[in-house]
Structure 1
Amino acid sequence: MAELLWKRGTTLGQGGFGVVSLASTSNALFNGVTLPSLIAVKSCNYSDSQSLKEEEEFLGMFKHSPCIIHCFGANLSFEDEVIIYNLLLEYASGGSLANRLRNCNSLPEFEVKKHTKNVL
């Protein structure tokens, strides 16, 4: 169960597909990879998990790209008598590009070039 691999911490964000939380790990081995000490966990009710399953599949196609958040896989937990689907993701401490734009309204040219290159 999830409690052995990671412990849910602060909520980082919430959206239409669920909640993203910061989680600490015991550096456990999961899907053949040692989890870093901090990860992001995107969670939703199992009954609503189709979009997260599709996200996991999409991220899996880019698992070797250094420009895409790494997905370690998914697991299930049982919280408040509900089955929860959890997508275990690399934690990007700098936040999202969308948050950066909201906070700054603009980016320096070198940063725009970097992000454009990464997207392409």
Structure 2
Amino acid sequence: MALIKRRVLGKGTYGVVFLAESTDPDAPPIAVKSRIFFIESSSLRLEDRVLTQLRGLPGTVQSFRSTTSIKNGAQYNDLLLEYAAGGTLADVIQKWKGL
């Protein structure tokens, strides 16, 4: 299964998040958090470990797996996540005046 990164959903300290689609037409869209490989990516690995421990809990974005990709000769660490259409955590906090 290949992924096609369609558009940027957000940018932050720990990487860029893309909306991606699978080449499998039955697969749902997913979010891909990418960070260039040579930049320290311990935060991305920590996020992957925490989300793995929280897997299955209601209200928690699911992490599917981590992988690497290459674009324009640069290697990236990618974290494949459930796509949460409601926006970022900051959006939710602002909308609801807190969690």
Q: How many residues align?
A: 98
Structure 2, unpaired ranges of 5+? none
Match of 2:90 in 1: 98
Match of 1:15 in 2: 12
2:27 and 2:50 map into 1 onto residues whose CA distance is 21
- Normalization by structure 1: what TM-score? 0.72
Match of 2:58 in 1: 66
> What whole-Å deviation, never above 9, does each CA across 1:12-50 have from its counterpart, x for those lacking one?
00000110000001349xxxxxx9320000000112221
Output the amino acid matched with 1:37.
Answer: P
CA RMSD of aligned residues (A): 2.1
Q: CA deviation at 1:98?
A: 1.7
1:43 aligns with 2:27: no
Q: CA deviation at 1:81?
A: 0.8
Shift >6 Å, 4+ stretches:
none
Greater Rg, structure 1 or structure 2? 1
Q: 1:76 to 1:91 in 2, by over 3 A?
A: same
Structure 1, unpaired ranges of 5+? 29-34, 116-120
| Identical counterparts, % of pairs | 32
Q: 1:97 to 1:53 in 2, by over 3 A?
A: closer
2:93 and 2:49 map into 1 onto residues whose CA distance is 27
Higher helix share goes to which structure?
Answer: 1
